[in-house]
Amino acid sequence: MSNDTTTTSTDPFDPTELAKLRLSQDFSELSQVKPILTNIACRKPHKQEFIRVRSGEDFRFTTGCFTDKDTRETYLVTPAVRDHLSGDVTPTMLVVCVSRNSPIPFLWPLTLPGVDGRPNRWHESAIEAARIAEDQWTKVVADMAAGCYVPNVARGKLPEPDWSEVPTISELLRLSFKDRLIATPDHPVLRRLRGES
């Protein structure tokens, strides 16, 4: 009695099988993937990336922020606890950006002039670079000798960013600061700054 359980194992690298591994030139089938935003970075642009800034008041938010120098994390600070940070809260305008490197938007914290009114070339030049990036793909490079940021615009005709999938500023703030909101005096960051933990 013959039990024919013959299985043919094929070599995936055999020239006749390679077609199964080849990627179709129709890349539209790969573009059907849509990222789900669960977290948004609050950061400065990297010096080697071209960015665009979303224009319009609906895509910027002026607030008070605290940047933890140890962890380099930026926190939103509610008015009720700003006095607990004794001068460490920075007037900040958060603007919505996209990068040529990633479809995920991010928030760029731009430091606004303080109550003392003293000019700061780093802060002023960052705000100007953001304004330029509203209309052109821009790379923001720090010039240490000049003491300011220098915007470099793309030489080529790059396509306009697709803003249609970018959430509202409210949703972006929630995604960026859901775990980085200082709203009570017993917040762990404040406790650490007071030497209580």
Assigned domain for 8 exists: no
At residue 70, what are phi and psi to the nearest 5 degrees? -75, -45
Say if residue 194's pLDDT is above 80: yes
Assigned domain for 114 exists: yes
Say if residue 122's pLDDT is above 70: yes
Assigned domain for 23 exists: no
Q: Could you tell me the residue range of the domain that residue 165 belongs to?
A: 41-193
List, in order, residues 6 or more apart from 73 with CB less than 8 Å away.
67, 180
Assigned domain for 9 exists: no
Lowest mean pLDDT segment, chosen from 99-103, 153-157, 166-170: 99-103
Q: Mean of the per-residue pLDDT values for the chain?
A: 87
Assigned domain for 150 exists: yes
Assigned domain for 2 exists: no
**If we measure between CA atoms, which residue out of 77, 70, 69, 76 comes closest to residue 42?**
76
**If we measure between CA atoms, which residue out of 54, 51, 32 comes closest to residue 43?**
51
Label the pairing between strands 73-77 and 102-111.
unpaired
Q: Are 168 and 176 in contact (CB under 8 A)?
A: no
Report pLDDT digits (tens) over 103-121.
899 999 999 987 777 789 9
187 or 87, higher pLDDT: 187
Q: Are 177 and 67 in contact (CB under 8 A)?
A: no
Say if residue 7's pLDDT is above 80: no
Assigned domain for 52 exists: yes
Assigned domain for 5 exists: no
Band (22; pLDDT cuts 50, 70, 90): low
Band (65; pLDDT cuts 50, 70, 90): very high
Total of domains in the chain: 1
Q: What's the confidence (pLDDT) of residue 30?
A: 53
What is the mean predicted confidence (pLDDT) over 4-14?
64
